[in-house]
Structure 1
Amino acid sequence: MRKIFVTGSAGFIGFHLSQFLLREGFAVVGFDGMTDYYDVRLKEKRNQILLQNEHFSAHIGMLEDFDVLHDLMMAERPDIIVHLAAQAGVRYSLENPRAYLNSNITGTFNVMECARELAVDHLLMASTSSVYGANVDMPFDEREKCDTPLTFYAATKKANEAMAHSYSHLWNLPTTMFRFFTVYGPLGRPDMALFKFTKGILEGEPIDIYNRGKMYRDFTYVTDLVRGIRLLLDAVPKRPKRKEDIAEYDSLSPIAPYRVVNIGNSDKVKLIDFVRAIEAECEREAKLNLLEMQKGDVPATWANATLLKELTGYRPETDVREGIKQFVAWYRDYYQV
């Protein structure tokens, strides 16, 4: 049984990925800081579900504590590491940038050091569509330069990509960075739009709509996302012998076993249409608090998922209305609404 070490296993994406991997027959070692950025009870609930599987083990610790992370990694000796843990939230990075420095830079470095020492078969790490920053050519392509991040969160993730490339080159460490695009679904984070919109609509409270709803997002259902990650486990990058051997669509580095892959639905949805779909599922009308664009935000995201399809044969495809239906059903059940 192959063993996978998942950081952020009690988080939204980490929980769904761990659950998916367990169903696929992997042993999963979970590591999470259980921080109070949002309601810890939700993280505890996710952990409880995962611990029902005998092949899952849960460990609490902070990425910044190298000794704790290192000792656990060396004891478990995983075949693959999937690094999802991070200080999340674009808007929170305006208030507390140091949390992003500690978790996303120091914490990620510690994970990479463990991966180097273990010489794992594959290191996969989460990046974000936010690294595209001020880029305007869409759909976003992995081969584009990403030199204009608009938030410190995005800057830390761009730094992670550069750090990972250097380690991949120096130590011949097979590394895949995946860029997420507005992930949503059941057991999601309370600070994300779908959660806040659903809560506000069901409680009859106003919901904040930035840029007066004139924004577009490539909403990606969480099950589609984790299926993409699972398939990428087997798409292990190899250092090319010649630059000419790299396919035109591929982001593979010419000097390292390293690539970046978008995981998105490849379909931009207008924010106000997203709200209307939630209204329809909740059978209630939203009270809209129309606001101007928030600092650091971008008007649109849209993924080119060609590389993911070429590497895995898979492309996310869940329609946003179906995804919202699944989330609202979970929300009503979980909060007894």
Structure 2
Amino acid sequence: MSTHPRASDGSELSPLRHDFPFDPTHGYDLPRLRAVEAPQGPDDFADFWRERHAHALSVDPEPRIEGPWTTVDGMRVADVSYTSVDGVRIGGWLTVPADGRVTQGCVATHGYGGRAAPDLGQPPSETATIWPCLRGLGTRSLLPGVAPNSAGHVLHGIGSRDSYLIGGCVADVWCAAGALQRLVPEAAGRLTYLGTSFGGGIGALALPWDDRFRAAGLTVPTFGNHPLRVTLPCTGSGESVRTRLAGDPSVLDVLAYFDAATAARHIRIPVHVGAALFDPSVPPPGQFAIHNALAGPRELLVLRAGHFDHPGERAETAALEEAQRRFLSEAVPVASTPGPTV
């Protein structure tokens, strides 16, 4: 089976061959993807998230460096932990420039595969970055009773907007920002966000309500336009949700509060989005719905594919990371600061 994606200039690319029982483009070309809209969401969407944000800010993150520092590729790296809502202790890593020059801070999250180590080349240079493993996910934040895989994690607590685990993951981002500011005060005032796939969707949900963030990069973000997303087969967490919805239509009412595209309507900071034309895991229309709904300055880099090995993938990933480093560096004013005190 094959599909015929098009490049950003409209020219046809060679088809990507695959064995999926569905078309990972879902029949959308670039012009149609650029036209996908976001749901308006419930009337109390913003109030719901502002209340959750206020609660998260009331939590003392109590950040701790866990163990010794090491130096890798010009960065100092240490294990870190902090407290999030519901008393959940989140584990991750902290990285700071070895030369002590910090010009911005970053909260960098992960996909549904979790994270086993920081990706040191992802943020701009001179960035102090906290790399949390969001609740229930590996390798640092596994929780009893919470499935560490996407199929189970995405359904945990989905019966109610107040118990849905995704809301806790968003709070983990806000609390990570507080932990970073406590550990590296030099990063305060110039905070950015990076998130891929699961982390991209979580970021879109987190960013509108927290004015500590000045810019963001979202790559193949999930959780966009749930009413459309649940009609599209995929190999990612969305398939679990589709199956659950078939037996419990009320799930869509809960998901309306966790729609990353609806949240994007409220994001006014500069955001760079890498969105794919072909993606078996995160349907492209949902990715583009998030980009299209952004209310502030935005930049789009169209990827040939996401969550799929393909020719030129390494160069495409390198170009995306370079574009996002440039975007974040330009969006956040540079200031010389003393070295971190951690």
**TM-score above 0.5:** no
TM-score (normalised: structure 2): 0.32
Q: Which has the higher contact order (CA 8 A, sep 6+)?
A: 2
State the TM-score, normalized to the length of structure 1. Answer: 0.32
Greater helix proportion: 1
